[in-house]
Amino acid sequence: MNGSLITPVGGDCWRSDFATIDSDYTWSSGRPVDCATAHQGYTYAVTTLSKTLPRTLIDQESGNVRDDIDTAARDSCDAASAHFLPITALQESRVEPGYFLPSEGAWGAGARWVRCDFAIIAYGSSFADPRLEKLPAKISDFVHDAESTPQILALCVNTEESTDASHPFNSDTATFADCGKDPQWREASEDHLPGDDTALFPSEKARNEFDQAHCGDPADAAGQVWITYEPTTDSWKTGDRTVECWVASASPAPSA
């Protein structure tokens, strides 16, 4: 049965792959399964959206969920996740969130539930083709482990190239690495460029000085290679002020 025809319940478990949880917005991938059996997805919350949202679910031009509904669904799941998953200081993680909506027909008839799921990307899987980990039968075990050791959720990266020849997000060989096992690249910190919604995009000089002070100086002192990922002119207009600092030792890439 099409999962979008089933009113979901918090605590449901699902068999899934990355492509499904990433893009199957009305879930056409079967019924929930017994959590004691193999599964990769977990419903941590079921939220309800406003009845004032449009009755048309899909944008006919793009074929995707309408932007206003997409934003409302993501925001509702993000709010619920703060009560379920530990909040880490770092933005990047192995958590793959997903939300799922009623079928087009059910949405048009007034259904407004949102199924909020999460999955975990498996260590060793490639950025080009991520695999999902199997989740435990008792999700409380996972939450306990994540609360006691938040780094198990953090994103670290290995590549087949030397550190000097690659960056964590520009390598065709990048894989998800265990942050507890001396990965090649790790996110060291996350800072925010100053500026309210009306601020102009900072000059290259101002951005470089910010990067050096918040990332370069501590990395240089530790003898680490470093790189920052910062807002673009387009993302700045949407309110993005985040600067990620990634560091690596200057040693060769880890062996496979």
pLDDT digits (tens, 9 = 90+) for 103-151: 999 999 999 999 999 999 999 999 999 999 999 999 998 888 888 888 8
Least Cα distance to 75 among 45, 37, 51 occurs for 45
Quick one: pLDDT at residue 142?
87
CA–CA separation, 136 and 60 (whole Å): 39
CA–CA separation, 207 and 241 (whole Å): 11
Model confidence at 244, pLDDT cuts 50, 70, 90, reads: very high
Q: Strand pairing partners for 192?
A: 242
38-52, 111-125, 135-149, 217-231: range with lowest mean pLDDT: 135-149
Q: Which residue has the higher pLDDT, 30 or 226?
A: 226
**Ordered DSSP codes for 35-81:** TTS--SEEEEEEEE--TTS-S--B-TTTSSB-HHHHHHHHHHHHHHH
**In the predicted model, is pLDDT for residue 86 greater than 80?**
no
Averaged pLDDT score across all residues of the chain:
90
The residue count of the chain comes to 256
Can you read off the two tokens belonging to residue 65? 């969920």
CA–CA separation, 191 and 180 (whole Å): 23
Question: pLDDT tens for residues 113-125?
Answer: 999 999 999 999 9
Q: Residue 19 carries which DSSP code?
A: H
**In the predicted model, is pLDDT for residue 175 greater than 90?**
yes
Question: pLDDT tens for residues 66-80?
Answer: 999 999 999 999 999
**In the predicted model, is pLDDT for residue 254 greater than 70?**
no
Quick one: pLDDT at residue 241?
96
**In the predicted model, is pLDDT for residue 255 greater than 50?**
no
- Distances in Å between the alpha carbon of 132 and those of 15, 21, 39, 41? 10, 10, 9, 9
How does 167-184 read in b/e, with b if 16+ C-beta sit within 10 Å?
bbeebeebbbbebeeebb
CA–CA separation, 128 and 119 (whole Å): 17
**In the predicted model, is pLDDT for residue 15 greater than 50?**
yes
DSSP element (H, E) containing 202 = none
128, 172 Cβ separation under 8 angstroms: yes
Ordered by start, the domain boundaries in the chain are: 3-150, 155-249
Give residue 157's region: left, alpha or beta (phi > 0; psi -120 to 50): beta
Rg (CA), the chain: 20
**In the predicted model, is pLDDT for residue 256 greater than 50?**
no
